[in-house]
Chains A and B, each alone.
Chain A
Amino acid sequence: MSQRSRMLQITRVDLSYFFRTKWLVATLIGLNITDMLVVGIVYKGMITAVNYFQFYAPGVIITGLFFASFDVGRRVHLGLTEGVSQYYLSLPVSLDDVVWAHLLSAGLGGAIYAGILTVIAAALIPQLVSLSTLALIPFMFILSMGLAGIAAVLNLFSKAGDRYFVFADGIQTAMVSLSTVAYPISVVSSYFPSSVVTLIQLNPLSQGAEALRTIINKGAPSSSAFNLPTLLITSLVLLGVGVVSYRHVFTKLWDVGKLQ
């Protein structure tokens, strides 16, 4: 078996950990659907500036992608504390292969999860049934891998115990709040100074949500926040950070043998 196929096997096993807990995945999808169908619809009646349901559904899809890709950090944390990562390192695969296996599984997990949510949303928002949505899937995959890079940084700084989960929840809260997932950039601009607005525009969650909104608006950019090269560049930068972080995590594990 080649190095590449061993890496893909680790990817498959890691990905299956996420989808194996069927009850949990079903519940998570249910949570996102109720967000769309309850919060989105009720807020639509309270907001006149935009069609809030159509505005919010892409935000929910990208939030789902974020949470699914971020789950790789939880799996790596548990792997480090329960000895699964030590087992991976004992296999005839390189350290880089283990790193890429985790990031690939995060990318696939996020893209599959977002794909499921997009199919559900498309039943209510017909504009999402288009070739542009299909063309966006590779970008969602790269975005998902990039977001996993943030989880890798948390794995780098968290030690044994539940500190990882606190950091992860904190980062998820901050990143979703400081994005255009739930509110348009015009509203954000009226509250934050321009430097923070720029950061919110560069937030990959804003980029992903605006990409889907552009498809719903039939190609007309939903706001100045969206730009496909920016989505790619921010995702690739975060992916690079993730590769460096996981290399460091697994090198340290290789040297020390356990999470300190």
Chain B
Amino acid sequence: MRELLTLLSFELRETFDSVPWTVYFWFFFGFQYFVYGQLVSRLISQLPNYYVYYGTGLLIIMTFNVASWSGRRFVEGAHEGRLRYILSLPIRRGELFLEQLMVGLIANVVRIGPPLVFVLWINGMSPAVMLTSILVLLSMSVGIMGIMISLSFIAFKSFDIYSAIVASTSAILIRFSTILYPLSFMPSSYASVARFNPLTYGSDLLRNVLNIDVSQLLNPGTSVVVVAAVGISMLTLGMALVPRTLEGVRSS
């Protein structure tokens, strides 16, 4: 445990040395929320108050981006030789996976926290709602980071293929979900794909917590089960897969 915390503090110092990325995430939020969101919501006539709907979707997209960044950082560490050094330290591989997840979660809180508090504050949400929303987003982060880090074994074969798979996974997961539009507006073929997407359940769960009135939000009980199940299964998969794939990794 002490080794995990030592490595965690080392990596956090390194992560937050890179201030521009944190500032970029806030900049991205500002443009998407105050420019894109405002203008698109003026165009959308069929869904009342789309701006609030979009704002919550944007928070999920940012959570997804930060979680993907964590997975990518892990893989880049392998290519730059940092992972070789970390593997030489007296730390168990399972603990190493947990440490990587914790770096991602803390980065998520720092990068998503201010925009989240801002969106909830201007919509008059209570501190209890804020806390529950943060819990939902962090649970989703665990699942997404678990997927991204578990996929890292592909990167050890080819970084291009890893980048391509991560980019296409992101595109499919974000577009075929209720992040940007409710199920009721999707063509039936798209909606049936979206029902198998964990992000659909995460987005609808967040909107349930925020009490956003949309005609067709999925059942919150089912959403809690899906988000928790994805988080736990990805955590277990990562703990099982990462120790096997890390050994003998080449830093090509």
Q: What is the interface of chain A, defined by CB distance below 8 A to chain B?
A: 21, 23-24, 26-28, 30-31, 34-35, 38-39, 41-43, 45-50, 52, 162-163, 166, 169-170, 173-174, 177-178, 182-184, 187-188, 190-191
The CA of A132 and the CA of B243, in the complex, are separated in Å by 57
Does A162 lie within 8 Å of B18, measured CB to CB?
Answer: yes
Does B46 lie within 8 Å of A45, measured CB to CB?
Answer: yes
The CA of A28 and the CA of B166, in the complex, are separated in Å by 11
- Checking B42, B164, B175 against A190 with a beta-carbon cut-off of 8 angstroms, the contacting residue is B42
Does A182 lie within 8 Å of B39, measured CB to CB?
Answer: yes
Residues of B within 8 A of A38 (CB): 175-176, 190
- Checking B27, B35, B190 against A42 with a beta-carbon cut-off of 8 angstroms, the contacting residue is B190
Check B192 for interface membership: any CB of A closer than 8 A. Answer: no
Contact bitstring B23-54, A, C-beta under 8 A = 1, else 0: 11001100110011011101111110010000
Does B35 lie within 8 Å of A178, measured CB to CB?
Answer: yes
Does B164 lie within 8 Å of A46, measured CB to CB?
Answer: no
Residues of B within 8 A of A169 (CB): 24, 28
Does A46 lie within 8 Å of B185, measured CB to CB?
Answer: yes
Residues of A within 8 A of B50 (CB): 46
Other contacts beyond A183-B39, A188-B39: 16, CB < 8 A: A23-B158, A34-B172, A42-B181, A45-B187, A46-B47, A46-B50, A46-B181, A49-B45, A162-B20, A169-B28, A173-B27, A183-B43, A187-B39, A187-B42, A187-B43, A190-B42
Does B44 lie within 8 Å of A163, measured CB to CB?
Answer: no
> Which 7 A-B residue pairings sit nearest by Cβ, starting from the closest?
A23-B164, A166-B20, A27-B164, A38-B175, A177-B35, A183-B39, A46-B46
Q: Taking A34-B175, A43-B181, A47-B45 as contacts, is the C-beta distance between A182 and B168 under 8 angstroms?
A: no
Residues of A within 8 A of B229 (CB): none
Does B164 lie within 8 Å of A41, measured CB to CB?
Answer: no
Residues of B within 8 A of A30 (CB): 168, 171
- Which A-chain residue is minimally distant from B168 (CB atoms)? A27
Residues of B within 8 A of A34 (CB): 171-172, 175
Most buried by A among B32, B47, B161, B167: B167
The CA of A41 and the CA of B42, in the complex, are separated in Å by 18
Q: Which size class do B's interface residues fall under? A: 35 or more
- Which B-chain residue is minimally distant from A28 (CB atoms)? B167
Contact bitstring B145-167, A, C-beta under 8 A = 1, else 0: 00000000000001011011001
Does A24 lie within 8 Å of B39, measured CB to CB?
Answer: no
Contact bitstring B179-193, A, C-beta under 8 A = 1, else 0: 011000111001000
Does A166 lie within 8 Å of B160, measured CB to CB?
Answer: no
The CA of A35 and the CA of B168, in the complex, are separated in Å by 12
- Which B-chain residue is minimally distant from A27 (CB atoms)? B164
12 A-B pairs with CB atoms under 8 Å apart are: A27-B168, A34-B171, A34-B175, A42-B187, A45-B187, A46-B44, A46-B45, A48-B45, A162-B18, A166-B21, A173-B28, A173-B32
Most buried by A among B31, B50, B190: B31
Residues of A within 8 A of B39 (CB): 182-183, 187-188, 191
- Checking A26, A47, A182 against B36 with a beta-carbon cut-off of 8 angstroms, the contacting residue is A182
Most buried by B among A26, A35, A169: A169
Residues of A within 8 A of B163 (CB): 23-24, 27
Residues of A within 8 A of B175 (CB): 34-35, 38-39
Smallest CB separation, B181 vs chain A (Å): 5
Does A31 lie within 8 Å of B44, measured CB to CB?
Answer: no
Smallest CB separation, B68 vs chain A (Å): 13
Residues of B within 8 A of A43 (CB): 40, 44, 181
The CA of A169 and the CA of B171, in the complex, are separated in Å by 17
Residues of B within 8 A of A183 (CB): 39-40, 42-43
Does A23 lie within 8 Å of B160, measured CB to CB?
Answer: yes
Does B20 lie within 8 Å of A48, measured CB to CB?
Answer: no
Smallest CB separation, B130 vs chain A (Å): 26
Residues of B within 8 A of A46 (CB): 44-47, 50, 181, 185
Does B38 lie within 8 Å of A41, measured CB to CB?
Answer: no
Smallest CB separation, B169 vs chain A (Å): 10
The CA of A247 and the CA of B45, in the complex, are separated in Å by 49
Smallest CB separation, A158 vs chain B (Å): 10
The CA of A232 and the CA of B187, in the complex, are separated in Å by 40
Residues of B within 8 A of A23 (CB): 158, 160-161, 163-164
